[in-house]
Amino acid sequence: MTKQDMLRIVQTQLAIDLNCTLDNLNGEKDSFVFTRARENKGRRPYPRGEQHFEMLSMGKSIVVNASPVILDIVKPQLNGKNREDAFCMPFVFGQALYYLPELDAIKPLAPPDGFAFALLEREDIPALCHLEGFKNAIGNSGGHPRPDVLALVAKQEGQVAGMAGACIDCAHMWQVGMDVLPDYRNQGLAAYLVNQITLEILRRGFIPYYGTSPANIPSQRTAHRAGYYPAWVCSYKGRFEGYELLPTC
C-alpha cells in the first residue's frame, strides 16, 4: 500500500461519514461544503443526535455535516469565513487532530530500557479493563460497535506501566489510542507503544490512525515520534443552547 492508496481509502471513508464526495475533501480553495447527515452504509458508528454537527478539513476546503435544523443555523454564520475563523466560532466544540502513518518514513523504534512488552489479541483484552488509567487505550468491549481488537502492554517489575490499543472503526481503519501512567512518562514509552502497534496494524493489512486534541502537545509529539503526520482536523460536536431550533421539512 502506498501513501496515495492509504489516503484514497481514508478519504473514501470520510466521504461516506460526511455524505460528501472525494472532490469535496480535496478542494483547492478555502471554501465550504454543507451536507446533511445521513446513515450511509459503512459509516463509522459514532453516535449522532438530533443536533448533530461535524466540521472537517484536510487542508483547504471545509466540509460541514449536520442535521437539517443545525445546518440552518451554521450555514449563514460560516459563509465568508476563512478556515481559522470557522474553527473558532462560538458553537464549535470538541476538536480533534487526526494523524496517518508516514508510510515512506516510519521505522521501528528501539524499546526503552526496563520494560517488558506483550501483544494481546481481542479475546484477551477484557481481562485488562479493570485497570485504571487506560481509558484511551482500551475500553470498547462487551458488544461495543467499535470493539478493541489489539493491545500492546508494557510492564515494569510486573506492574502495567503503559498501553497502546486499537479498535475497529470501520472496514479498513483501526484507531490507535495510548496511555502511559504518570510515573513512567518521559522515557520514550508512549512513542514506542504507538509505533509498534501501528506497524502491527499495517502488517495485518489495515490502516492505523491516531487522534488527539489540538491542545495536547505531548500527544502530538508522540504521534510525530512514532511515525505519523497530521492528515485532518475535525470538530465533532456543537453547542447550540440558546439558538431557536425550528423543524425543517
Helices in the chain by DSSP H: which ranges?
3-18, 22-25, 68-78, 83-86, 189-203, 217-226
Question: Which pLDDT belongs to residue 242?
Answer: 74
Lowest-pLDDT range of 169-173, 210-214, 235-239: 235-239
Q: Above pLDDT 70, what percent of the chain?
A: 98
- Per-residue pLDDT tens over the stretch 38-71: 999 999 999 888 889 999 999 889 999 999 999 9
Question: Which pLDDT belongs to residue 159?
Answer: 96
Containing domain of residue 56, as a range?
3-99+234-238
Given pLDDT bands bounded at 50, 70 and 90, which one contains residue 248?
very low
My answer on whether 78 and 142 are in the same domain is no
Task: Find the length of the chain.
Answer: 249
Residue 186: pLDDT over 70 = yes
Question: Which pLDDT belongs to residue 69?
Answer: 93
For residue 194, is it within any domain?
yes
Given pLDDT bands bounded at 50, 70 and 90, which one contains residue 245?
low
My answer on whether 29 and 85 are in the same domain is yes
Given pLDDT bands bounded at 50, 70 and 90, which one contains residue 206?
very high
For residue 110, is it within any domain?
no
How would you class 30 by CB atoms within 10 Å of its CB: exposed for 0-12, middle for 13-18, buried for 19 or more?
A: middle
Question: Which pLDDT belongs to residue 30?
Answer: 76
For residue 19, is it within any domain?
yes
Half-sphere exposure of 194 (CA within 13 A, CB side): 29
- Per-residue pLDDT tens over the stretch 99-110: 999 999 999 999
Tell me the three cell numbers of residue 233: 482536523
My answer on whether 143 and 190 are in the same domain is yes
For residue 60, is it within any domain?
yes
pTM recorded for the entire structure: 0.93
For residue 209, is it within any domain?
yes
Given pLDDT bands bounded at 50, 70 and 90, which one contains residue 139?
confident
My answer on whether 205 and 171 are in the same domain is yes
Count of domains for the chain:
2
For residue 207, is it within any domain?
yes
My answer on whether 152 and 82 are in the same domain is no
My answer on whether 166 and 84 are in the same domain is no
Residue 219: pLDDT over 60 = yes
Using alpha carbons, list the distances in angstroms from residue 73 to 70, 78, 86, 214, 248: 5, 9, 14, 25, 11
My answer on whether 179 and 87 are in the same domain is no
Q: How confident is the prediction for the chain on average, in pLDDT?
A: 93
Q: Please state, in angstroms and rounded to a whole number, the distance separating the CA atoms of residues 129 and 140.
A: 9
My answer on whether 121 and 49 are in the same domain is no
My answer on whether 150 and 215 are in the same domain is yes
Name the DSSP class of 241: T
Which CATH number belongs to the domain containing residue 222 in this structure? 3.40.630.30
Residue 28: pLDDT over 80 = no
Question: Which pLDDT belongs to residue 244?
Answer: 61
